[in-house]
């Protein structure tokens, strides 16, 4: 199976967010010519799967089939043990149409209060999938474990970063130097695995 991507391959990043497409190009060490889904004229599919890997594969396959080029997609989120893994694959949706993560973080806190939780353990997941137009695909998953802490602290990250403290650290991802976050994040771990799977 042609699972090795030669340097210089044109690759579609299955996202309409140009910033995310650039970030993906950089995380792949600039080895590929990365087009966003918008540039490749690929619409965004509904995320109908129930797992991070399922949704990443669905988005990558959809973009590969529509564009005729290899495609890379990601799916990520925060899972809280005491909430049975919520918000999980619904992490973006908990922030509502206004992408209000202060609201989403309050929702996590309120749900934990409602059940009188004593276990605050949580983890971030990043699933990455690459699919080829003729069918084969590869999917990997990276995680970083820790706990959630309230009130939110720090304004350096995005999303749920201000409430997540990785194991062995006292700062939240929102307070941490971005380079420190990048050295241990779920996304960095997933990209390391993906590079191992794709690069010769």
List 124, 130, 152, 166, residue binding ligand IMP (CB under 6 A): 124
Count of chain residues binding ligand IMP (CB under 6 A): 15
For the question of residue 75 being annotated catalytic, the response is yes
Task: Check residue 160 for interaction with ligand IMP (CB under 6 A).
Answer: yes
10 Å CB burial of residue 188 (0-12, 13-18, 19+) is middle
**Cβ-contact 104, 80 below 8 angstroms:** no
Catalytic residue among 29, 75, 84, 119: 75
Considering only residues 28 through 87, tell me which ones interact with ligand IMP, judged by CB under 6 A. 74-78
Residues contacting 51, CB < 8 A, separation 6+:
89, 127
Cβ-based nearer residue to ligand IMP, 86 or 133? 86
Segment 176 to 195, residues that bind ligand IMP, using CB under 6 A = 185
Tokens matching residue 71? 């495609």
| Alpha helix positions (H), the chain | 18-27, 52-67, 101-114, 178-184, 186-198
Say if residues 190 and 128 touch (Cβ distance below 8 Å).
yes
Query: Applying CB under 6 A, which part among 31-39, 63-71, 108-116, 152-160 lies near ligand IMP?
Result: 152-160
**Binders of ligand IMP among 78-107, rule CB under 6 A?**
78, 91-92
Work out whether strand 71-80 and strand 10-13 pair parallel, antiparallel, or are unpaired: parallel
Nearer to ligand IMP, 152 or 159 (CB): 159
Query: Residue 193 is encoded by which pair of tokens?
Result: 């695995």
Shortest Cβ 117–ligand IMP spacing (Å)? 20
Q: Which residues bind ligand IMP (CB under 6 A)?
A: 74-78, 91-92, 124, 157-161, 173, 185
Query: Catalytic site residues?
Result: 75
């Amino acid at each position: 199976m042609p699972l090795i991507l030669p340097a210089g391959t044109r690759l579609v990043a299955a996202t309409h967010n140009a910033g995310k497409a650039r970030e993906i190009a950089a995380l792949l060490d600039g080895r590929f010519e990365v087009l966003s889904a918008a540039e490749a004229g690929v619409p965004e599919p509904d995320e109908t799967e129930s797992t991070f890997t399922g949704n990443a594969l669905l988005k990558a396959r959809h973009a590969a089939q529509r564009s005729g080029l290899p495609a890379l997609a990601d799916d990520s989120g925060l899972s809280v043990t005491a909430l049975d893994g919520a918000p999980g694959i619904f992490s973006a949706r908990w922030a509502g149409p206004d992408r209000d993560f202060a609201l989403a973080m309050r929702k996590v806190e309120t749900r934990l209060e409602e059940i009188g939780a004593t276990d605050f353990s949580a983890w971030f997941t990043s699933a990455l999938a690459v699919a080829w137009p003729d069918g084969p695909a590869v999917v990997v998953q990276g995680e970083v474990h820790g706990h959630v802490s309230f009130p939110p602290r720090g304004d350096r990250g995005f999303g749920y970063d201000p409430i997540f403290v990785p194991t062995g650290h006292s700062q939240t991802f929102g307070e941490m130097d971005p380079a420190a976050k990048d050295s241990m994040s779920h996304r960095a771990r997933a990209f390391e695995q993906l590079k191992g799977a794709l690069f010769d």
